[in-house]
Every structure is written in structure tokens, then in C-alpha cells.
Structure 1
């Protein structure tokens, strides 16, 4: 679906990849509704966008089912039509093993990453089905197919997003709604800070050459929508590990274990 002239909702629009998605969609001629739980972050996005008249903001906690359904109802009434949604918002967990991870942390990760995506899709889908053309993009993660030590729950939430999207694709095959799942590797964003966690991985030791910039990630996500790609692996690390995982999952898991161990303080 070409984004020019379309009305598109982006979650996590207050920072990082979400903000870049908002800016690039606006530059391509879309009307954008940026959704975030942080009103100050949304205001910053508005300022960076030069107070573009095609940008609207909504403060929504996507982990709250009632809030999401109320937002969607109001959005249809306020903006008339929505042609596409990009479910980008997400958090990671503290870098600890499952045995050490508190249940409230587990529930928060699942509620935002999986249920937040599910609520948005479920609430918007009846309206999207009425459009001549519509598109749903759900952002998963390399951690959704490759287990990362200390990120097992995060990985499970993103694996659920991947399978949800692929299942939707089959169910919507004969409709006007296209679906994409985008699977990024590492992206240089503030996701750790936005997830309210600290971790043992040294930023100095991490391989920044393998990381996507938020700008590039947003560009590739929009390209996936416009090219109607069901599945898009983005980032050097993600593409390399996807190939290795298909050849030998044991070898790929061993490699990521060594990388994580080498980057710990």
C-alpha cells in the first residue's frame, strides 16, 4: 500500500523508530496519528515535525484493552478513516534469566509487546476491512526467532507477534487488508531507558557496525508496507543470524550466547 494520501496510525511515535516512522510517513504525504503513552515525547515529535498539520497525537496505554478500544472508536469518529496501522511500540525485559525475573516484569512485557499489538489489530480490523486498501504492520524482533539469554520473555512476546501476523495473513488472504511482520535486529535506540531497565551489556563493547539506525529501520519498515511484503528481516545481524539459524539452530544459539557473554561487564 503506497502511503501517500493515506491515514496511518503509528504506536510508539514519541521516540526512536516510532518517531522516525512518523516523520518519514509525513514526508511521503501521509496523514499520521502518533500514539504513545508519554505526552511529552509526543510533543517533542510534533516539534521536530515542524507542527505539521497532517500530524495528530493521541496518548494511549496500549496495554490497556479498554483504552485501546476507546481510542480506536474515537479515532474513527475524529479522523474519518484509517488506512493502516504500524504496531511499533515495544519494551525489553531486564537482562536476567527467567528464574530471576519478577512476574510483574513478565506481565508488563507481554501486555505491551503482544497484547498491545493484539488489541490494536483487533480494534482496528473491522474498520480496515471496509477500506478499498489497507495494511497492518507488526514489528517483531530477531529475538522472536533466535533465543537471547536474559531476554526469554521478550523473545516469547515477539515470537507471538510474528505468529499472530502470519496467521492474520492467512485469514485475510482474500480481503483488501495486507499484513506485514518486520523482524529487526539491533537498533540504536533508547529502548533500555524507555523500558525502565538497566543491563549488563556494555554499550562500548557492542558491535555498532551491525546496528540499524532508527532512520534506516523506519525506511525499511515503510518499504515493507509499500511493497506488501509479508515478512521482512532487516539489519545485518538479523539477516546473518536468520541464515545461520536455518542451517543450524544449535550453532546460532551458541554464537549468540558467546556474543552476550563477551559483552557482559
Structure 2
């Protein structure tokens, strides 16, 4: 897909990977609708877009709400006439604790944002995408959706569901004009961990153990995947390596990852 002049909706466009995706798309001469629940973050994206911001619209949206997503769709189609691509990037994690220690409200938030956010966006925007000559859906899963990360179990479950959602959509839409990309980023240097209300010492240890890839590089690879109509995209050596080990020896991979996580959090 040539992104010049295409209308792209990016959720989580106010920070981290989402913000960098917005900027990368603008540099490809796309028209971008950035959606985020955080209006300050959206305004920061507008500032960073600079002169390219004339092709950027901002939309405060709660993707866990079908009504809010429908409002987003109405706003974007009214302003830009159509939509060619949706990028379901917005996501949250939870504190680095076992499932037994997680509040139900936290569990519900993770599932509602990570899974139902992607479902809501797909259900609302798919009829619009099907009306276009060429269109695309991008779902951001995680390497945590490929294999179990101890103390991020609910997050992993939500991202595993996004993986299966994407694979099902790929099969259902294979004979249509809508392509599908599912992305499995490894560790990325963003503020997602800062927003999970976890223990700051534990987070500091984890991030020093595995600092992650830059969000700029991550965003560029996602944009390239849209252009090339790539179905599965692993970003980072950690995602590729752990995926391979898990396929070859799943029990070994889970035990190894549990040991590595203990070293990261306790070392």
C-alpha cells in the first residue's frame, strides 16, 4: 500500500509507539487521525508533528467503549471523508504481580482496553474499510501474547487473544480488499510500565535488565509492514528468539522465561 494521501486512524496516538507511528505516517504523507484517552498526550503529538500537523486530527477516545469508538468513526469520516487504515495500538499493562494479587477492576481494565478496544475498533471501522479500494488493519499484540510472562499473566492473555483475533480476521478477509498485520514487539522503551501502578523499584530493575528497542524504530517497521502487506511482524531479537524457542520446546521456554524474570525483578 502506498500511504500517500491515505487516511489512517491510530489508537494510543498520544505517547510511546503510537505517537511515533503517527509521526512516521505523517512523514509518508498520510493523513492521520490520532486517538487517545489522554488529551494532553494528543496535544504533545500535535506539537511534535510541527509543520506536518496540518494533516493530523486529534480525537479523545475511550476505545473500551463502543459508543466512544463509534463517535471517533463519525468524526474521522466527517472530517476526512473515509478511512483506509486502522492501527489498534493502544494498550495497558498491570502491576508485576501474580493473578491472585490483582484486583478485579485492574483485570477488567486490561481486558477491556487491550482486547475489547481492538474488537470495538474492528467492528465499527470494518464496514468503512471494506468500502475502500485497498485497506488495512494493524493489531499490536506482544511477545507476551506468544508465551507466558510470569506476573504479567492477564496482560499476556489479552495479547494472546489479540493474536488470535488477528489470525481469524486475516482468514476471513483474505478474499477482500482489507489486509491484516499482527505485530509482536519485544521490549520497547516507552512509558507503558510507568502507567501500570507497579512498584517503582521492580520496574527500574526490569528496565535496567532489558532496556528495549526505541519506539521510533518500532514505528518505522510497523509502517513498512503496512506498505508491504506483511501478515506477521516480530520486532526485536527477543521476540524472534523467544518465539522460536517456545515453538521448539514450550515447557523449557516457559521455565526459562520464569527464571529470567526472577533474575530481572530480584537481581
- TM-score norm. by structure 2 comes to 0.95
Note the C-alpha offset of 1:56.
Answer: 0.7
Contact 1:182/1:224 (<8 A) preserved: no
For 2:24, the equivalent position in structure 1 comes to 24
Aligned position for 1:89: 90
Matched with 1:78 is: 79
Alpha-carbon spacing, 1:198–1:3, altered in 2? closer, same or farther (3 Å)? farther
Higher helix share: 2
In structure 1, stretches of 5+ residues that fail to align are none
Deviations 1:187-221 (A, max 9, x none): 0110012334336241464133xx21100110111
> What root-mean-square deviation, in Å, do the aligned CA atoms of Structure 1 and Structure 2 show?
1.2
Instruction: Tell me what 1:230 maps to.
Output: 231
Answering whether residue 173 of structure 2 is matched by residue 172 of structure 1, we say yes
Does residue 141 of structure 2 align to residue 140 of structure 1? yes
Corresponding residue of 2:105: 104
> In the aligned structure 2, how far is the partner of 1:56 from the partner of 1:10?
11
Post-superposition CA distance 1:5-41 (Å, at most 9, x none): 2110101111110110010100011010011111111
After the TM superposition, list the runs of 4 or more consecutive aligned residues in structure 1 that deviate by more than 4 angstroms: none
Partner of 1:189 in structure 2?
Answer: 190
Contact 1:192/1:198, CA 8 A, preserved across alignment: no
Q: Which segments of 5 or more consecutive residues in structure 2 lack a partner in the other structure? A: none
Q: In structure 1, how many angstroms separate the alpha carbons of the residues matched to 2:99 and 2:207?
A: 26
Partner of 1:47: 47
User: What TM-score, normalized to structure 1?
Assistant: 0.96
Distance of 1:29 and 1:78 partners within structure 2: 17
**Secondary structure in structure 1 of the residue aligned to 2:96:** coil
Question: Is contact 1:178-1:228 (8 Å) kept?
Answer: yes
Q: Which residue of 2 aligns with 1:254?
A: 255
Q: By how many angstroms is 1:93 displaced?
A: 1.1
Query: Is 1:37 paired with 2:40?
Result: no
**Who is 1:207 aligned against?**
210
Deviations 1:42-79 (A, max 9, x none): 11111111152001110001111111112212321221
Q: Deviation of residue 232 (structure 1)?
A: 0.9
> How much does 1:264 deviate?
1.5
| Distance in 2 (alpha carbons) for counterparts of 1:24 and 1:48 | 11
Closer/same/farther in 2, CA of residues 49 and 69 from structure 1, 3 Å limit: same
Equivalent-residue separation in structure 2 for 1:148 and 1:100 (angstroms): 16
